[in-house]
Amino acid sequence: MNTLRTGLLMAAMTALFLFVGFMIGGEAGMLIALALAVAMNAFAYWNADKVVLRMYKAREVDRASAPGFYGIVAQLADNARLPMPRVFIIENEQPNAFATGRNPQNAAVAATTGLLDRLSSEEVAGVMAHELAHVRNRDTLTMTVTATVAGAISMLAQFGLFFGGGNNRNNPLGIFGVILVAILAPMAAMLVQMAISRAREYEADRVGAEISGQPLWLASALERIQAAAGRIDNDAAEANPATAHMFIINPLHARALDGLFSTHPNTAERVRRLRAMAGDMGSPARPWG
């Protein structure tokens, strides 16, 4: 059901992109928008993981340089029957983590120093199992594509606002229609992106709990990350809010706009579901290892 819903939402995002192009430039504008979408998604498919890891100044580690963290990821990848992903650490005090990559064979997982320093081994395992669930579900590609299209919609709408489009015969409102598109289209794109991300987060929580076998590890981690993320800045994320959906917990501080367009479901509800899952499994929390 989540896969069908995500597919429909991605189709809606693409349709919105083509609509913006049509309203600004008619049929020619729609064709240009389509060509732009194809080009941007091709770039995102091959290069988005490198771009985002460079953006956060992530450094790759191995078993020799980070034996504990690397070992946790290796064991969980084996549990999930996934290829071993590349492992990165980000120098940032805010506890958080994300996964990226176009497919399981080219995946990477990254955690901040804040997460590794503040959470127990069990909680780190719960978080990384969640990120590997994104890899197994191929959410990393889905979210990269939606973020790229959402950004392109905003860019195209602003292009129409600043360079004309009010004379397009397909737009009966003229320049006022262009202004409406420039304002409303990016908001609509953000809402669709938010809906996709929230659906995938719940699913990754569930699958991640199955990979680790311990839903309570992730439940505890989510509570601790949420509490710390509200107090500790993540300057790189604040400068690049389009990447916020990649993290396990929203890295942006809950200002009015951040809260309105949050890409993450309510943490308390996520924790509630995980605790219910632990009850259904009937196994008490055990230590890592």
**From 131, 223, 238, 269, the catalytic residue:** 131
DSSP state of 60: E
| Strand, helix or coil for residue 83 | coil
Closest CA to 288 of 207, 204, 220, 217: 217
Q: What percent helix, strand, coil does the chain show, rounded to 5?
A: 70, 5, 25
Q: Where are the domains of the chain?
A: 2-281
Residue predicted with more confidence, 122 or 46: 122
Residue 131 falls in the annotated catalytic set? yes
pLDDT digits (tens, 9 = 90+) for 108-155: 999 999 999 999 999 999 999 999 999 999 888 777 777 667 666 766
pLDDT digits (tens, 9 = 90+) for 202-220: 999 999 999 999 999 999 9
The two structure tokens encoding residue 153: 């919609």
| Strand, helix or coil for residue 99 | strand
DSSP 25-57: HHHHHHHHHHHHHHHHHHHHHHHHHHHHHHHTT
Q: CB neighbours of 239 closer than 8 A, spacing ≥ 6?
A: none
DSSP 16-31: HHHHHHHHHHHHHHHH
- At residue 40, does pLDDT exceed 80? no
Strands 108-112 and 86-90 turn out to be parallel
pTM: 0.81
The pLDDT value recorded for residue 136 is 94
- At residue 161, does pLDDT exceed 60? no
